């Protein structure tokens, strides 16, 4: 059984980039007669915008998305993350880290995504872990996977990333752990999401292996950028998608995903548009490269 999901972070309303991820993950699940789950990734409470989760769900439903089962909230699943964390801890795979950002910046090399943590605290055996972050030990194994859109991927965590944080010094679990635990517990088989998470995938595969979880299949969508080539996000002040404009926005999302929707669909009903999309959706049509959306030209 195909189980897909859409996992927005309620840091703001949905923008066109998140709509593209919702559309692609939804259509892939539906054409495989699969389930499509919605998970609210509100594990990072300090970054949450009040009201955003309800706003996102309302937008999704007004756009005609139909999700299966109850929406899951990461903020209510701490005990699941704690259980996974304890397994890693009992296998001596995690350690407490007292390094400040400045200490790391002074001693680390640059990797694929920022600084590669040099392992300073690995052998310090901090006694009290109050207010300390917890990192997982990585190794030099090559982690490889085939992405359905971006092709073959390869990373060596020790060189490219370094030991990474699973639990933050403020006590919150990190996205990397939460997402792996949730995808496993929800039995997600296929992950379709933005290419901004492509570089995170080897960390997630590594955690799946440590925890004995099944590895899902991955498809990373091209990113929607603005005129400056920046990913649409709250930081780059992406405009929220508007419910009254649902048909046009969906049409643009299909167009961005290179599905070649006929122009006549722009003015048809929402249900005709969805019907066309379900009949014509091809993951293989997607161009892997990041691009500016027509709507933003």
Contact by Cβ (8 Å): 6, 36: yes
Instruction: Name the site residues for ligand GLU (rule: CB under 6 A).
Output: 7-9, 41, 179, 193, 197
Q: Shortest approach of ligand GLU to residue 26 CB, angstroms? A: 13
Distance CA 193, CA 179 (A): 12
Q: Is residue 175 exposed (0-12), middle (13-18) or buried (19+ Cβ within 10 Å)?
A: buried
Q: Which is nearer to ligand GLU, 41 or 163 (CB)?
A: 41
Distance CA 94, CA 167 (A): 10
Q: Which is nearer to ligand GLU, 193 or 247 (CB)?
A: 193
Q: Shortest approach of ligand GLU to residue 11 CB, angstroms? A: 8
| Token couple for 54 | 């309800």
| Token couple for 71 | 């929406």
Contact by Cβ (8 Å): 261, 295: no
Alpha-carbon distances of 124 from 87, 95, 119, rounded to whole Å: 21, 9, 10
Q: Shortest approach of ligand GLU to residue 272 CB, angstroms? A: 29
Distance CA 54, CA 119 (A): 40
Q: Which is nearer to ligand GLU, 167 or 190 (CB)?
A: 190
Q: Shortest approach of ligand GLU to residue 25 CB, angstroms? A: 8
Beta bridge partners of 52: none
Q: Which is nearer to ligand GLU, 95 or 172 (CB)?
A: 172
Please, what is the Cα angle at 161 between 153 and 14, to 5 degrees? 75
Q: Shortest approach of ligand GLU to residue 203 CB, angstroms? A: 11
Which pairing describes strands 291-292 and 109-111: parallel, antiparallel, or unpaired?
Answer: unpaired
Distance CA 103, CA 293 (A): 40
Q: Which is nearer to ligand GLU, 190 or 247 (CB)?
A: 190
| Token couple for 99 | 């390094």
Q: Which is nearer to ligand GLU, 197 or 207 (CB)?
A: 197
Distance CA 137, CA 97 (A): 11
Q: Which is nearer to ligand GLU, 21 or 94 (CB)?
A: 21
Q: Which is nearer to ligand GLU, 231 or 266 (CB)?
A: 231
Q: Shortest approach of ligand GLU to residue 21 CB, angstroms? A: 7
Q: Shortest approach of ligand GLU to residue 133 CB, angstroms? A: 20
Q: Which uninterrupted H or E stretch holds 221?
A: strand 217-221
Q: Shortest approach of ligand GLU to residue 111 CB, angstroms? A: 20
């Amino acid at each position: 059984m195909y189980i897909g999901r859409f996992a927005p972070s309620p840091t703001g309303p949905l923008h066109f980039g998140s709509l593209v991820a919702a559309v692609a993950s939804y259509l892939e699940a539906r054409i495989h007669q699969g389930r499509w789950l919605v998970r609210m990734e509100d594990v990072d409470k300090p970054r949450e915008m009040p009201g955003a989760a309800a706003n996102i769900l309302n937008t999704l439903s007004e756009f005609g998305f139909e999700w299966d089962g109850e929406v899951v909230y990461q903020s209510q699943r701490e005990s699941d993350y704690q259980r996974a964390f304890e397994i890693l801890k009992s296998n001596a795979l995690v350690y407490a880290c007292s390094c400040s950002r400045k200490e790391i910046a002074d001693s680390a090399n640059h990797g694929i995504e920022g600084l590669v943590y040099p392992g300073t605290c690995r052998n310090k055996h901090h006694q009290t872990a109050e207010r300390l972050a917890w990192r997982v030990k990585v190794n030099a194994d090559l982690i490889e996977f085939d992405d359905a859109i971006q092709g073959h991927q390869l990373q060596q965590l020790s060189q490219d990333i370094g030991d990474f944080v699973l639990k933050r010094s403020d006590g919150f679990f990190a996205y990397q752990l939460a997402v792996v635990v949730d995808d496993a517990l929800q039995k997600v088989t296929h992950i379709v999401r933005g290419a901004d998470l492509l570089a995170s995938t080897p960390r997630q595969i590594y955690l799946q292996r440590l925890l004995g979880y099944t590895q899902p299949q991955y498809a990373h969508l091209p990113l929607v950028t603005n005129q400056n080539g920046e990913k649409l996000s709250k930081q780059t002040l992406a405009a929220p998608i508007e419910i009254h404009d649902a048909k046009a926005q969906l049409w643009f999302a299909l167009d961005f995903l290179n599905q070649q929707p006929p122009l006549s669909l722009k003015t048809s009903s929402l249900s005709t548009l969805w019907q066309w999309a379900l009949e014509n959706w091809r993951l293989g049509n997607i161009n892997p490269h990041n691009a500016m959306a027509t709507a933003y030209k």
